[in-house]
Amino acid sequence: MERSTEKGTLYLVPTPIGNLSDITRRALDVLEKSTLVACEDTRVSGRLLAHFGLKKKLISYHDFNEEKRLPQLLEVLSAGGDVAVITDAGSPGLSDPAFRIIRAAIANDITVSPLPGANALIPALTGSGLPLDRFFFEGFLPNKSGARKNRLDKLKGLEHTLIFYESPHRVRKVVAEMLEVLGDRRVCLAREISKLHEEFIRGALSEVLDAIEPRAIKGEIVLVVEGLSRKRKATDG
């Protein structure tokens, strides 16, 4: 069944996570032709678009107003306008707003077109030195320590490489909890990917914890943790 040509397209457009040169030509073309750009912070996105010489109508679309914005975005799409969803940095929907409008668009027979592009997940994984054949993306762990440990306990039996997003103010505590729950596995702490101070800190969890303990850790962080080895799993079982 063909989609009605009267309806617009919902575009999911990745934006640079640091280096502005990481934006794609296609992303710029889509942003330029879209009727409306839905973004997390209109000030942040306004500066990004201005850098590339784009003047577009922006509307805020974030965790706290997603439900409220849905009817407005669907109205534009249903009338034939194209809507581009962007976040402050990275791919929409990946630990960022977009899920609700994607689901609503699909339910209303509106084409969803996700563009490939910048994100922190894949560069952190490929640069980690840990196995790439199977991985499990957890995103952000719970805020409370007890809930974090419970979640880590449920993940510790996976053989997949584990990937987490983390904030600088609690990264020491989280690495210490990983050491406690998962054991002294290999880990890579990837920081400020694609930015001026990009850094990869690799080693056992205990070694990385010692390395970051005296330092002021800043910026966006991805933790890539070794999965349970098959040899160890057989021994534990």
Per-residue pLDDT, averaged over 180-189, amounts to: 98
Domain residue ranges of the chain, discontinuous segments joined by +: 9-114, 121-236
Q: Which segments within 93-185 are labelled E, that is strand?
A: 111-114, 135-140, 161-166
Class of domain 121-236: alpha beta
15-73 pLDDT tens trace: 999 999 999 999 999 999 999 999 999 999 999 999 999 999 999 999 888 889 999 99
100-143 pLDDT tens trace: 999 999 999 999 999 999 999 999 999 999 999 999 999 999 99
Backbone angles phi, psi at 222, to 5 degrees: -125, 130
Indicate the DSSP class of residue 97: S
Position 93, amino acid? G
Dihedral over alpha carbons 116, 86, 33, 78 (to 10 degrees): 100
pLDDT computed for residue 6 by the predictor? 87
To which CATH superfamily is domain 9-114 assigned? Answer: Tetrapyrrole methylase, N-terminal domain (3.40.1010.10)
Cβ distance 45 to 58 under 8 Å?
yes
Indicate the DSSP class of residue 15: B
Closest CA to 189 of 119, 135, 118, 129: 129
Cβ distance 35 to 81 under 8 Å?
yes
Rounded Cα distance between 31 and 83, Å, is: 9
Dihedral sign of CA atoms 101, 102, 107, 110 in order: positive
Does the structure show a pLDDT above 80 at 235?
no
* Confidence band for 154, pLDDT divided at 50, 70 and 90: very high
Distances (CA, A) of 198 to 98, 120, 162, 195, 220: 27, 11, 21, 5, 10
82-92 pLDDT tens trace: 999 999 999 99
